[in-house]
Amino acid sequence: MTPARSFYGLRHGATDWNREGLFQGRTDNPLNDDGLRQAHEAGDLLRGAGISRIVASPLVRAARTAEIIAAAISVPLAIDGGIIEFDFGSLEGLPVRDTMIRHGAKSATDLVSILPADGESWDAMTERSLRCVSAWLERHPGDNLLFVCHDAVMQGMANALCGSYFRNSHATPFRYARENAQWRIEQVVT
């Protein structure tokens, strides 16, 4: 399912597992001090972006990031499991870099090709995420929505809509911009 219009996405602030380079997936780790600072900075940055509603993943790292931003820009916040992080299965908690080296993976595309069968399907994650975003956009046609979620979710949507992955940093807002039938991803700078 392809969303009917543009929307915003933001990866949660950093956690200790992010700093350690571990597959985090569904492990419900909290933000660390850097992540909290990043969330506050994102709230400051987004004050002038015109966002009128936030939807967040239920995992604490995304929900807390969204709470901080929602308070900073005074908009309503909802939680939706449709944008929960990818389930990495048996890779959960393992070092990303070591796993990529062991399997000869050099890119995001390579990484997707080595995901274990005991986790979620990449295509299923992308489909559920786009379905979630589309449903919120349809329910709130007058709102500019920000989805606070996770790197894999944002990468899956980017690849499905734009045909490529992108460099995604913690608590950095991006706009998934639709013009006619074409999509692009642009970092939000105010």
Write down how long the chain is: 190
Active site residue 179: no
- Whole-angstrom distance, CA of residue 46 vs CA of residue 110: 33
- Whole-angstrom distance, CA of residue 132 vs CA of residue 80: 8
Alpha helices in 48-178 (DSSP H): 60-73, 96-103, 108-113, 122-139, 151-162
Catalytic residue among 12, 67, 120, 150: 12
Cβ atoms of 15 and 146 within 8 Å: the answer is no
- Whole-angstrom distance, CA of residue 57 vs CA of residue 65: 10
Chain centre distance of CA 159: 13
> Which residues face 91 on adjacent strands?
none
Active site residue 138: no
Catalytic residue among 85, 120, 150, 170: 85
C-alpha to C-alpha distances, 14 to 2, 11, 135, nearest whole angstrom: 29, 9, 28
Number of H-type helices and E-type strands within the chain: 7, 6
Active site residues: 12, 85
